[in-house]
């Protein structure tokens, strides 16, 4: 192989140039002859590649390449490119003397004589290993970040360009929104918004807010590919270049539908608890008022009855007294309903002729509705008796017809019908026969949401002061406590039908019960009766009724006083109020039974619902009671002598 002849004596400029090149340590600068043989070697080359000048000059430069590159003939290709195109530049792995590798940026320029003949090549190599490692680290980090983002399935994480078009798409976005990447990339993100939000300009407003304030966050409904909606928590952050110009947006969306549903359920539970507490408070107040009003009605009714017995048969005052007594009896029915609402009055389910009850109420219902409404009643000729509380059923029918009236502001027709249904196993009711009473109107009707809440306590669609929201809940309570149910059917613009289902009371059993029950017979015996009540007015009234019946009366205003009398006096029967301070009537009865086991005791109370085990087996007399009811209770409770 022919080597280049060394120059004879370098000029001063050439010497300075050689000194400069040899002094450079950041670049490997050396010469090759036309065949690629190293002919010079500077300090930078020595530092990068580890060879001393006498070790490498005269050697082919291909030894700096990796085995794979030599097999691919890359050294020769680099020289051919430099000779043909006047320059070669590339990057790749190179090998040091010790066998270690470094990443090199290589520039090869051909050196030609004035005649154009190729004299050799100038080769400059720079060690870019640190930059290469940094790039590899960055690339690896970016790849890991991309894998991380793509692997997230609970969040939709994607990019928008500056105009709001989707530029990438992760697995979470595909799961939550239903679009595959090829279906959505390049499309505007506004398609995730509802029609109303798009019309209101919400998508553009979100991007403007993110750009202006550095962040946008909101919870709202968003639309999936299939058209369904979901509650989304959305965060949008702007992406800026080095100059601060917005070049896109990062968007994170989370499906919070379940959380919203849980939150809504919690709020509904709190509201129900609040309403239950309010209902309980009203029940306590109602029960207390009804109890006190019962005592007042006792005095009024008893006094009116005694006055009527003492007036001559032809007295002009008799009609007035009769009216007063009817009013007091209606007040007594009202207090029973109030106590039932307060859960302090048990229902009194009896076989009830529903058709006859509705016929008897027709005038009352018509007066309650007004002249712009008509009532049409339709009952079959033979309808089984319903097992329910007749007084409460009257109130329920009045509630339902008033509701029907309010649903027809311009007037209309209300239909009350009755029929029988048979329930087999598997339904919400026990198998058996039921009497169904339906109240139907052709009014405004209810949507599904209103219908679902219609029977909730305190729920009402009426204006302030026009409804308590308790009517349907009381009707539902009556039906369920009677062993039936309330069923509502309604559609907007097609009216509402409310059905009360009550178990059938078999006619045979009811008739046998009525036949077996003896007619009340006036008790002609004269007994010594101890009347106990903490209310002096009620006590005096009860004593007057007993005295008028011919009994000897002893009175006590407390249980302790009653026990003292029983120790000192002969008593045939004890008539005691239940709700008394310090010692209730039931507690007094227990002490009397322990001391005088054969003593008859009647428990008088306006509260039919007593604590479990209280007053068990004692005859009860519901307040307010008439003289006839008092006489019947004494006849049934006292022994025949």
The per-residue DSSP string of 326-353 comes to HHHHHHHHHHHHHHHHTT-S----EEE-
Percent of all residues in the chain with a pLDDT value above 70, rounded to a whole number? 80
Q: How far is 108 from 87, CA to CA, in rounded Å?
A: 6
Count of CB atoms situated within 10 Å of the CB of 432? 12
The reply to whether 528-637 shares the fold of 12-133 is no
pLDDT tens figures, 158-174 = 999 999 999 999 888 89
State the pLDDT confidence band at 17, using cuts at 50, 70 and 90. low
C-alpha dihedral over 523, 525, 527, 529, to 10 degrees?
10
Exposed e or buried b for every residue in 136-154, given b needs 16+ CB within 10 A?
eeeeeeeeeeeeebbebee
State the pLDDT confidence band at 36, using cuts at 50, 70 and 90. very high
The average pLDDT across 213-232 equals 94
Taking a C-beta distance cutoff of 8 angstroms, is the pair 327, 368 a contact?
no
Pairing label, strands 496-505, 432-441: antiparallel
pLDDT tens figures, 83-112 = 999 999 999 999 999 999 999 999 999 999
Any idea which architecture 264-339 has in CATH? Orthogonal Bundle (1.10)
The per-residue pLDDT for 242 is 87
Q: What Å distances lie between residue 249 and 161, 174, 227, 637, CA to CA?
A: 6, 18, 25, 89
Percent of all residues in the chain with a pLDDT value above 90, rounded to a whole number? 40
Helices 390-406 & 471-481 angle (0-180, nearest 10): 150
Pairing label, strands 246-255, 229-240: antiparallel
pLDDT tens figures, 289-330 = 666 777 777 788 888 878 888 888 777 777 877 778 777 776
Domain boundaries, the chain: 12-133, 152-255, 264-339, 350-516, 528-637
CATH placement of domain 350-516: 3.30.565.10
Least confident piece of the model among 235-249, 334-348, 378-392, 603-617? 334-348
Any idea which architecture 12-133 has in CATH? 2-Layer Sandwich (3.30)
pLDDT at 565 over 90: yes
Enter the tokens of residue 173.
């976005």
pLDDT tens figures, 456-478 = 655 555 544 444 445 577 787 77
CATH class of the domain at 528-637: alpha beta
CATH placement of domain 152-255: 3.30.450.20
pLDDT at 6 over 50: no
Q: How far is 447 from 421, CA to CA, in rounded Å?
A: 27
Q: How far is 337 from 431, CA to CA, in rounded Å?
A: 29
């Amino acid at each position: 192989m022919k080597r280049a002849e060394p120059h004879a004596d370098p000029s001063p400029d050439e010497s300075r140039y050689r000194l400069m090149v040899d002094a450079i340590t950041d670049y490997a600068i050396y010469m090759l002859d036309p065949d690629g043989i190293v002919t010079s070697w500077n300090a930078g080359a020595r530092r990068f590649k580890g060879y001393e000048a006498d070790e490498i000059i005269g050697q082919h430069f291909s030894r700096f390449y990796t085995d794979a590159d030599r097999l691919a003939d890359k050294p020769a290709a680099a020289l051919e490119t430099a000779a043909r195109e006047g320059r070669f530049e590339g990057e790749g792995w190179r090998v040091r003397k010790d066998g270690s590798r470094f990443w090199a940026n290589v520039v090869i320029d051909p050196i030609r004589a004035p005649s154009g003949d190729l004299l050799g090549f100038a080769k400059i190599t720079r060690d870019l290993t640190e930059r290469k490692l940094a790039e590899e680290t960055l690339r690896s980090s970016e790849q890991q970040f991309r894998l991380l983002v793509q692997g997230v399935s609970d969040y939709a994480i994607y990019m928008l360009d500056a105009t709001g078009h989707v530029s990438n798409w992760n697995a979470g976005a595909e799961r939550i929104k239903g679009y595959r990447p090829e279906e959505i990339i390049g499309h505007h993100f506004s398609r995730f918004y509802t029609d109303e939000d798009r019309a209101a300009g919400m998508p553009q407003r979100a991007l403007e807010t993110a750009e202006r304030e550095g962040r946008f966050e909101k919870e709202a409904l968003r639309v999936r590919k299939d058209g369904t909606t979901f509650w989304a928590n959305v965060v949008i952050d702007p992406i800026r270049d080095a100059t601060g110009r917005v070049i896109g947006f990062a968007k994170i969306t989370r499906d919070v539908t379940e959380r919203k549903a849980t939150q809504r359920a919690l709020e509904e539970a709190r509201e129900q608890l609040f309403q239950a507490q309010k209902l309980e408070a009203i029940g306590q107040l109602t029960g207390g008022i009804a109890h006190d009003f019962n005592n007042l009605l006792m005095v009024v009714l008893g006094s009116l009855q005694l006055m009527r017995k003492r007036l001559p048969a032809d007295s002009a005052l008799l009609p007035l007294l009769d009216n007063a007594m009817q009013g007091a009896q209606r007040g007594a029915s009202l207090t029973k309903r109030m106590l039932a609402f307060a859960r302090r009055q048990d229902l009194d389910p009896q076989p009830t002729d529903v058709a006859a009850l509705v016929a008897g109420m027709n005038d009352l219902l018509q007066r309650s509705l007004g002249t712009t409404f008509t009532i049409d009643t339709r009952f079959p000729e033979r309808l089984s008796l319903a097992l329910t509380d007749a007084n409460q059923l009257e109130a329920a029918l009045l509630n339902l017809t008033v509701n029907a009236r309010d649903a027809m502001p311009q007037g209309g027709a209300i239909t009350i019908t009755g029929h029988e249904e048979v329930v087999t196993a598997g339904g919400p009711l026990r198998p058996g026969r039921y009497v169904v009473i339906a109240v139907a109107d052709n009014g405004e009707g209810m949507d599904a949401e209103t219908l679902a809440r219609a029977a909730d306590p305190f729920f009402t669609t009426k204006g302030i002061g026009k409804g308590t929201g308790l009517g349907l809940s009381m009707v539902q309570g009556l039906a369920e406590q009677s062993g039936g149910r309330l069923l509502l059917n309604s559609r907007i613009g097609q009216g509402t039908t409310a059905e009360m289902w009550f178990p059938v009371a078999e006619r045979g059993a009811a008739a046998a019960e009525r036949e077996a029950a003896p007619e009340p017979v006036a008790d002609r015996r004269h007994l010594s009766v101890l009347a106990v009540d903490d209310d002096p007015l009620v006590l005096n009234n009860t004593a007057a009724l007993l005295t008028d019946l011919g009994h000897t009366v002893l009175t006590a205003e407390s249980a302790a006083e009653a026990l003292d009398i029983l120790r000192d006096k002969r008593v045939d029967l004890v008539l005691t109020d239940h709700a008394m301070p310090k010692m209730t009537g039931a507690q007094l009865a227990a002490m009397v039974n322990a001391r005088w086991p054969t003593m008859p005791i009647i428990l008088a109370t306006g509260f039919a619902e007593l604590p479990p085990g209280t007053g068990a087996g004692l005859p009860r007399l519901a307040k307010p009671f008439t003289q006839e009811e008092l006489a019947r209770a004494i006849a049934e409770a006292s022994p025949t002598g």
